[in-house]
Amino acid sequence: MQLVLAAIVGYAAARYAMNEAPRSAPPPAVAPAPATPVPVPPAASPAAVPAPATAENAMGAALSISFRSAVQRAAPSVLTVHSARSVARGPLGLGGRALLSEGLGSGVLIDGDGDVVTNNHVVEGANELAVSLPDGSIRGTKLIGVDPDSDLALLKIDATGLHPIVIGDLRSAAVGDVVLAVGNPLGVGQTVTQGIISALGRKGIGINPIENFIQTDAAINPGNSGGALVDTSGRLIGINSAILSRGGGSEGIGFAIPIDLAQKVIASLKKNGRVARGWLGVSTMQPSRGQPGALVAAVQPGAPADHAGIKAGDVIVGFGQHRIEQPEDLAGATLELEPGTHVTLDLEHSGKHRSVDVTLGTRPALRREVNR
């Protein structure tokens, strides 16, 4: 028993000693020695990813490009037109000439033959004309013909060393396209202004008998008349003609004669020195209650409309391929055609519809007073 008891006591003492022995403190934390610096290449920038080719990106890129190339192509073709009206002093002009008025406008060299197109109101009433090039040199000028209905005129100058403009295609133009107006506003020298096409086929302004204007907010001022409206490739799409303004200066509402109409007029002026206009022989007014068309108020006896059986009270709603929304549409469509042209008119009267065929006559000469 004593041996067993001694063994138990010894075992317990040993266990106590083990549990109560002072525990070793944890080894002190050792900071690692600073490593020798090793150059680390900078993180490579992520490779630029090209923006996806979208219409929006293409538009942004186009807007960031200068228009200098367009100006370089078009500017040499835009000239200054000087006009004057003078009368002789004394009998047989022995006293020289007295200057009554003088004006300044712009013109565009349209071909290699020296043909320059400008506005009729730039040369109207003048008996002395000259054209100056962008370098300031003066060329003698001959008036080939005028067309007051479209406000266009054709001049001829010596073609030596000239650079005709490139003619554009108006069918590819749209509202919102960027355009440049080139001319000599207020006589300050050749000037370029930039804007957009605000509208196409603008009519009813009351400026010309024939109206089918390109409207633009590119700044146009007196002196720009007859100058060029070009696209961003420097191609001619219109002849700057007029503005709407309360104060006489540019207010962002300018009008240009479209190049397709100008080309027809130019061809006729080159061939005949004048433009023969079609004639229907009716007086028209706007129908009541907002109805579209041209209400026939009177028919001239013996006129083409009379021969075709058109009566007062008929409403003309179609003229060939043209839809007639207002009387100005009918007038413009008629004047754009030559005498002898056969055309079908669509008429409405008291709710009934009919069509008649008309052969246009020659428009009688009209006296027109133009105040510009």
Please spell the DSSP secondary structure of 193-232, one letter per residue.
EEEEEEEEEE---SS-SS--EEEE-S---TT-TT-EEE-T
Element (H, E) at 236: strand 236-243
Angstrom distance (rounded) from CA 177 to CA 198: 8
In angstroms, what CA-CA distances link 201 with 63, 167, 193? 25, 19, 22
The answer to whether residue 349 is catalytic is no
Q: Which residues, in sequence order, are bridge partners of residue 124?
A: none
The verdict on whether 135 is a catalytic residue reads: no
CA–CA gap between residue 126 and residue 82 (Å, rounded): 9
Tokens of 34: 């600073």
Q: What whole-number distance in Å separates Cα of residue 82 and Cα of residue 8? A: 136
User: What residues have CB less than 8 Å from 40, skipping those under 6 apart?
Assistant: none
Q: Is 86 exposed, middle or buried (0-12, 13-18, 19+ CB in 10 A)?
A: middle
- State the catalytic residue, choosing from 225, 241, 250, 268: 225
254 in helix, strand or coil? strand
Residue tagged active-site, from 115, 147, 151, 314: 151
Residue 225: active-site member: yes
Q: How far apart are the first and last CA of the chain?
A: 144
d(CA 116, CA 164) in angstroms, rounded, equals 9
Q: Are the beta carbons of 157 and 131 closer than 8 angstroms?
A: yes
The 3-state DSSP class for residue 105 equals strand
DSSP string covering 307-372, please? Answer: HTT--TT-EEEEETTEE--SHHHHHHHHHTSPTT-EEEEEEEETTEEEEEEEE-EEPPP-------
Q: Which amino acid is at 45?
A: S
> Which of 316, 286, 284, 288 is closest to 299 using CA atoms?
284
Active site residues: 121, 151, 225
